[in-house]
Amino acid sequence: MAEKKVSNLDQEISKEGFWKDKIKSKSVIREKNFFESIINFHSDTKKNLENLKDLNQLALDENDSETLIDCFNKISTILIETKKFEIKCFLSGENDHMGIYIEIHAGAGGTESQDWAEMLRRMYLKWFDKKNFKSQLISEHKGEEAGIKSSTLKVMGENLYGLMKKESGVHRLVRISPFDSGARRHTSFASIWVYPSIDDSIEVVIDNKDLRIDTYRSSGAGGQHVNTTDSAVRITHLPTKIVVQCQNERSQHKNKETCFKMLKARLYEFELKKREEKSNKEANSKTDIGWGHQIRSYVLQPYRLVKDLRYNIEDTNPDSVLNGNIDKFIEGSIFKIKS
């Protein structure tokens, strides 16, 4: 099937005028490369397994335990690589290959929720580092006592939107509060919102009369990469009520440019959600950060468990999860969605 698909795409590429449509040609080339990678991986894996089968039989005949162990290790490596490639095959949607913007917002509850929002940001940053994804802080609002009220990151990496898009939603934390002198158990909420970082090949038309542009001074120190001048920019798209902001550059012009890129990405995603008839559900999960809307619970007291409530995926080591080991949840959501 993949060979036939590549052949059909080659025929399309050879047509006169193919390269005139930059958006379409880029999409076709990406699709062709994807199917060629499937063919090459299958061919290489099949060849390696045949060689290992012969080597394993020879080791059995000669009672060579060292070679048998080596064969077993190589088969285990092939299984790991096959699983990685299987995930890649699932991430073939229209926008799955794109980078992302990720917004983190603390829910109601003041310091408790703001601290939880910062813990979530740390968890994702550690996962990005493990995957060698490049992250950039776009905007941040610190809490008065601890944590963050909100934070926006731009992250670039292969198939990142496909991997991360199901992280959008409300995340709930249950723990003994470090801010409560009575050491009582508290429940905190924070929301995650992931949308694709579109490139210039995707045209999004924005009418200037639909925008309100504000400049302001960033609140709090904000870390070494967030300035405290009056160059921070906030843009509100009035028809959709979408708000984007950037404060990581000292130049107001650069912050405004970044805001426009984010706004285009948000509007693009907004139209995608409408087309998929999911916009109402997604909007509810974003705006109502509280009970009944959470997608995942992180319980540290009275027991220890992280559970994705949509896919029934669990991990009994929340410390590991909060240190960025979230592959179980990322991969599990992909297979649950596609199966």
Query: What pLDDT is stored for residue 83 in this prediction?
Result: 84
Tens-digit pLDDT profile for residues 232-269: 999 999 999 999 999 888 888 899 999 999 999 999 88
Q: What is the pLDDT of residue 223?
A: 46
pLDDT in the model for residue 220: 46
pLDDT score at 285: 52
> How far, in Å, CA of 48 to CA of 180, rounded?
58
Q: What is the mean pLDDT of residues 199-208?
A: 80
Condensed to tens digits (0 to 9), the pLDDT of residues 207-221 reads: 999 999 998 876 544
Query: What average pLDDT does range 305-331 have in this prediction?
Result: 96
Q: Per 3-state DSSP, what percentage of the chain is helix, strand, and coil (rounded to 5)?
A: 50, 25, 30
Main-chain dihedrals φ then ψ at residue 154, nearest 5 degrees: -105, 130
- Amino acid (one-letter) located at 173: L
Q: Give the domain ranges of the chain.
A: 2-90, 99-338
d(CA 258, CA 79): 41
Give tens-digit pLDDT for 132-190: 999 999 999 999 889 999 999 999 998 999 999 999 999 999 999 998 888 889 999 99
- Mean pLDDT of the region 37-45: 90
pLDDT at 222: 44
Q: Which of 1-10, 41-50, 162-171 has the lowest mean pLDDT?
A: 1-10
Residue 121's pLDDT band (boundaries 50, 70, 90)? very high
The mean pLDDT of 97-124, rounded to a whole number, is: 94
Cα 45 to chain centroid distance, Å, stands at 29
> Beta strand 169-176 with 294-299: parallel, antiparallel or unpaired?
parallel
Same CATH fold assignment for domains 2-90 and 99-338 = no
Question: According to the model, what pLDDT value does residue 284 have?
Answer: 52
- CA 58/CA 12 separation, integer angstroms: 48
Rama region for 183: left / alpha / beta (φ>0; ψ in -120 to 50; rest): left
Output the CA–CA distances (angstroms, integers) from residue 256 to 183, 253, 308, in the order listed.
44, 5, 37
Phi/psi for 91 (5° steps) reads: -90, 65
Q: Which residue, 101, 82, 98, is CA-closest to 162?
A: 98
Cα–Cα distances (Å) from 229 to 1, 153, 213, in that order, read: 57, 20, 17
Taking 90 as the threshold, does the pLDDT of residue 14 lie above it?
Answer: no
The rounded percent of the chain whose pLDDT value lies above 70 is: 89
User: Rounded to an integer, what distance in angstroms lies between the CA atom of residue 153 and that of residue 127?
Assistant: 13
Q: Which of 72-76, 107-111, 314-318 has the highest mean pLDDT?
A: 314-318
Q: Which residue is associated with the tokens 């590991």?
A: 320
Look-up of token digits 């619970």: 297
- Architecture (CATH level 2) of domain 99-338: 2-Layer Sandwich (3.30)
Q: Is the pLDDT of residue 11 over 90?
A: no
Position 224 confidence tier, pLDDT thresholds 50, 70, 90: very low
The verdict on domain 2-90 having CATH code 1.20.58.410 is yes
Cα separations (Å) of 101 from 90, 163, 229, 287? 21, 13, 23, 17
